[in-house]
Amino acid sequence: MNQRRRHAILAGVAFFIVALDQATKIYIMQTMRLHESISIIPGVFNLTYIRNPGAAFGIFASSSGAFRMVFFLLTSLFALALLGTIFYRLHPKDWWGQLTVISILGGAIGNLLDRLRYGEVVDFLDFSVKGYHWPAFNVADSAISVGVISLLILFAFENKRPEYTSSP
């Protein structure tokens, strides 16, 4: 497969993640009241509409709005540059690595769009297991988490991965 087609497919994956993230958030905002919770699997999974002005787990939530906007804009730019560097350094035939970076990128863009539009991120996936409550999250957070875990696995087994001998 040529590089142009591969990049088009990867861009499509990123677009799909962003579109799914934004569509689910719009649906939640239009059909639920803020802080409303709907039990899907009692005691395990709820749809709970919240807005998170902070980072993961509410970090920086109590900081001023101006600080948060500057902080998240700068960290987003740094993250995009880092993801671009990682993507550029991957072998063109490394689908796993490329999908991993694209997943993180799509999630980062989804949450960045929320921050730019609302000044906070819309979260709604709410899980509890045996009394332990995980902070609510969204599709973008899921894509970022799966991507980061995959990237860590990729780096951990980097020396055991196949060598690409043919030209890109």
According to DSSP, residue 1 is labeled: -
Instruction: Name the nearest CA neighbour of 41 among 145, 142, 129, 139.
Output: 129
Q: Which residue out of 21, 114, 126, 141 is catalytically annotated?
A: 141
Residue 126 annotated as catalytic: no
Residue 123 annotated as catalytic: yes
Question: What's the one-letter identity of residue 103?
Answer: S
Q: How far is CA 40 from the centre of its chain?
A: 23
Alpha carbon of 101 to those of 44, 66, 120, 149: distances in Å? 30, 29, 24, 11
Q: Which residue out of 21, 114, 123, 126 is catalytically annotated?
A: 123
Q: Return the number of other C-beta atoms located less than 10 Å from residue 25's C-beta.
A: 24
Give the residue numbers annotated as catalytic, written as ranges. Answer: 123, 141
